[in-house]
Amino acid sequence: DFSSIYSTDLLPASGGEEMTRGFLQELVNILFGYISKTSQRSTKVLDFHHPHQLKEGLEGFSLDLSDQPETLEQILVDCRDTLKYGVSTGHPRFFNQLSSGLDVIGVAGEWLTSTANTNMFTYEVSPVFILMEEVLLRKMQSIVGWSDEEGDGLFCPGGTISNLYSILVARYHFYPEVKTKGMGALPRLALFTSEHSHYSVKKSAAVLGLGSENVVVVKCDERWVRKMIPGELEISIITAQKKGLVPFYVNATAGTTVYGAFDPLCAIADICDKHTLWMHVDAAWGGGLMMSDRHRMKLGGIERAWSVTWNPHKMMGVPLQCSAILVRKRGLLQKCNELGAEYLFQRDKHYEVSYDTGDKSIQCGRHVDVFKFWLMWKAKGSEGFGSQVNKCLENAEYLYDQLQRRADFQLVFGHKVRLERNHRHCSNLSALSLQVAPRIKGRMMEKGSVLIGYQPLGTRVNFFRCVFSNPATQQEDIDFLLDEISCLGHD
């Protein structure tokens, strides 16, 4: 009974051991109940409420903060309700995002990380985690295909920041004076990325003062695979030079966000070599395929990249957040970002100070993202991650086969987009078809049975993007998804 117990009764309060154990066990019961429920197909993926409903408060669940402390009973109710009104991204029928799944070892890792509550900037306060980061980065670099003498990196807050790092170090590599003199000392630089690449390249160019207009968007093969066309890249580079811009950076994508396309890395690497350009591979989504003997060939040529973004929180199912920037040239991250704050990075410490890796980062405080990943790797082995990735790809194949058999879905390109049978005979097809996916998605969210994302793209009407990164998903869930879309869009 926690109805008259408060947080001040817990450790470090004197005699607080029993109360603390009881409280945490109660919390474990809530978490276990949630984890168990999440894996049951009969439960909802979400219990949707509009923002105003959640703000107004639901059945005793209030977001408001008071001046007086709440009892631990209320705190436990708040924990339960927070999960209740959230989205079960580990549910087998959650197809909505590139990051999904509920890995029990990962959860244990995240919990331990919070318990340790430390910071990744120095060995002094994170001895074990700093070495784990080094082990993981080395492992990932060797999987990319770099030699033992090459490779550096950092775990950072998401793929956008990883991509930002790649541009930052590329610019520093060619123009180290930028660190002290700023952009005024540089020529007008140009970056290149495919039209289907992630928006973070443009965003990073804006943030770094390079200007989003100086990101040249390179055409993709629109007929089939949506890969960057190497010939178009070369034309774009030459055209930019003629306009007085100085090309320095090319982003190739391994697994685009919507189509999942893989740019031809070898051909892009040849062009980068020829023009002495930094080649980055954004493998935030597709990087996980390198764990699979069956699928790693899709990233052939990645070993020629100068930097790589790889998000284990996507295809590998590590709990958010877990994203790495890998840089081939050792020492560059440190030189590019270090400022040597003396209160933190003293050079006269009694241990090897190169393990104070915090000055490689643009952050000061940095969350420990590595432990859950390290623990999962221990628990699964590289082979376990490989099997998990293979299963995701098998699910994608299964969806493709099922869609080919169904008359009520239409191909986007070798894959399919949902259009209602009735609407096919409608004279106002395109206006109506714009609304099909959003309307079905709205109904889906209200019902809470399944969750999948949609988007328009270029001239295409809204279509569903089915993501497979959730290890819980089985073929029966894919059948359910298709039947549910049909059912929700019956009219």
Q: Which residues bind ligand ABU (CB under 6 A)?
A: 97-98, 159, 198, 257, 284
Structural contact between residues 455 and 300, judged by C-beta atoms closer than 8 angstroms: no
Structural contact between residues 322 and 313, judged by C-beta atoms closer than 8 angstroms: yes
- Minimum CB separation from ligand ABU for residue 285, in Å? 7
Closer residue to ligand ABU (CB): 284 or 392: 284
Closer residue to ligand ABU (CB): 330 or 367: 367
Q: How far apart are the first and last CA of the chain?
A: 51
Closer residue to ligand ABU (CB): 145 or 453: 453
Closer residue to ligand ABU (CB): 323 or 337: 323
H/E/C letters for each residue in 227-285? CECHHHHHHHHHHHHHCCCEEEEEEEEECCCCCCCECCHHHHHHHHHHHCCEEEEEECC
- Minimum CB separation from ligand ABU for residue 194, in Å? 15
Structural contact between residues 100 and 468, judged by C-beta atoms closer than 8 angstroms: no
What is the distance between the alpha carbons of residues 49 and 61, in angstroms, rounded to a whole number?
13
- Minimum CB separation from ligand ABU for residue 257, in Å? 5
Q: By C-alpha distance, which of 106, 145, 162 is closest to 311?
A: 162
* C-alpha angle 277-280-282 in degrees, rounded to nearest 5: 155
- Minimum CB separation from ligand ABU for residue 387, in Å? 23
- Minimum CB separation from ligand ABU for residue 255, in Å? 10
Closer residue to ligand ABU (CB): 158 or 230: 158
Closer residue to ligand ABU (CB): 122 or 251: 251
Q: By C-alpha distance, which of 47, 46, 51 is closest to 63?
A: 51
Q: By C-alpha distance, which of 165, 190, 161, 194 is closest to 262?
A: 194
Closer residue to ligand ABU (CB): 97 or 390: 97
Bridge partners (DSSP) listed for residue 279 = 250
Structural contact between residues 218 and 232, judged by C-beta atoms closer than 8 angstroms: yes
- Minimum CB separation from ligand ABU for residue 284, in Å? 6
Q: By C-alpha distance, which of 64, 99, 93 is closest to 78?
A: 64
Closer residue to ligand ABU (CB): 151 or 255: 255
- Minimum CB separation from ligand ABU for residue 283, in Å? 12
Concatenated DSSP letters of 302-330: GGG-SEEEE-TTSTT-PPS--EEEEESST
Phi/psi of residue 228, each to 5°?
-60, 140
- Minimum CB separation from ligand ABU for residue 119, in Å? 25
Closer residue to ligand ABU (CB): 178 or 299: 299
- Minimum CB separation from ligand ABU for residue 394, in Å? 21
Q: By C-alpha distance, which of 440, 428, 430 is closest to 490?
A: 440
What is the distance between the alpha carbons of residues 386 and 296, in angstroms, rounded to a whole number?
10
Closer residue to ligand ABU (CB): 98 or 403: 98
Longest dimension (CA), the chain: 78
Residue 197, Cβ neighbours under 10 Å: how many? Answer: 24
- Minimum CB separation from ligand ABU for residue 311, in Å? 8
